[in-house]
Structure 1
Amino acid sequence: MAEDLCESYSTAAAKGFLASHSSLGGFAASGGLRDPNSFEALADRLREIAVKCNMPSPPGTTAKAMFDRDAAIVLGECSILMSGEALRDDVWAYLATVLLPDVVRWRFGKAPAERFSGGVRNTFQRLWMRAWALDLGEGNLERWTLLRGLSEDAHVAIFERPSVGGNAILAKACAMEWLRVSQEIGRSAMEEVMRRAIKVLRLKHQVIDISVLSEEEVRENVREAFALAVSDLTATK
């Protein structure tokens, strides 16, 4: 479907295609009560965000960042994704390929297949992973501070590495330290610092299973990695 249709998808074409292929909206019963409209309602909210970010006009850097931030929050607060369903790649492939191919193409241009298929580079799954890992808790007035505060490069550095982004405690610790260090040395220097710090953490992960450490021990490991990265960067200048 992505190969055949993503080059010319508009919102009207996306909705028309789904309407003329009703079988795409069906699935086998697996227990519980079925709500046939819940996922479509989620898709409508995500498309509204894209429109507010000037879809269908080609998005600039600011529009992309706004979409990623606001869409991630919607996905993070979506009750139907607070279950094992969100861990299934085919759920995200369905959302991207069947319900929102126009948004995928708007966000990523020609949109390679990986933006439609499930996985860490899926247009929406990557955003849900950010929200899941960086969520500071429902009811917290600063619930999405980490998600909003990181640059796109920082998000990519964390979440396209499963050993880091797949551990919510480690991901939060990296985000908190990124924000702290960026206030000291400036955001412009953080891409190289983050790259070096993540490399140190991944190497350490080969020797120490970070997933079994306490939360404070994880934070200490992250602080040390960032301190080493800053020190190395300073030494090379």
Structure 2
Amino acid sequence: MRIGEPLTVSSLPIYQPFREGLLSDSSDIELVSAPLDELCARMLSGDLDASPISIIDYVRYQDRFDLLPGVSISSWGRSGSTLLCCRGPLASIEAIAVPEEFNWSHWSQWGSCLARWLLKSMYGTEPAVVMTDGELSELLLRYNAVLISGQAAFNVEEQSSDTIILDLGDAWWQATQTPLVHIVWAVSKQVGDEDFERVSELMGRAKERMEGCLPTAIQVGAEMAKVPPRQVDGYFRLCNFDLTPAHLKGIELLTQYLGQAAIK
């Protein structure tokens, strides 16, 4: 079976048991490493049997995949990876700048949709989203909000006394009392019941063995993100890898609030 492995820091803890050979009966599993957007494209083309995909892609294509139970990458409150950096009151935001380095990836699409919904629900505002270039400090002089997501969020610090850093995971929790789901595992509908159960069982055992692999995952993550290991350690402490009824409720709300039209 071919299973996707995203090139993201957040996925390192759950894949490290595979890398360290701790899942003894996984020799027939081929891990295919690629960016998260590419993994979704490969799932759609039938090249992969199962893979993590971003929640925004799951909302788009949920009729094409089955959802693997018990596993996600999510956060109960602060996410540490999807931040809205604001200059001045949140209610006065007219435009959200998205640095072009993100190339309108799943993180920037997801973050901008979520930020606009949260601001609309809290303040009734509907800011525009602008793709632009520049460093955070420069962009905050031109716009009153900048979206920073993914590994780039690890190095964000307050730019000045009037800069507000809104973690969208925390804002989502305050608004819905549900975890914010970032990534889920999708399984091709062509996969039979026996193989579906096998993937589910393997990912369950990988979760059980994550704790012992964290030191290595932290070191690898620090090299990927080019940050000190303590920052990756702190980020992993915010990550949750479950998929409980509360997570499913969060996905239901995301689907309802963001909607297919908002993410085309």
Q: Rg bigger for which structure?
A: 1
Q: Given the two structures, how large is their TM-score scaled by the length of structure 2?
A: 0.25
| Structure ranking higher in helix proportion | 1
| Structure ranking higher in strand proportion | 2
Q: Given the two structures, how large is their TM-score scaled by the length of structure 1?
A: 0.27
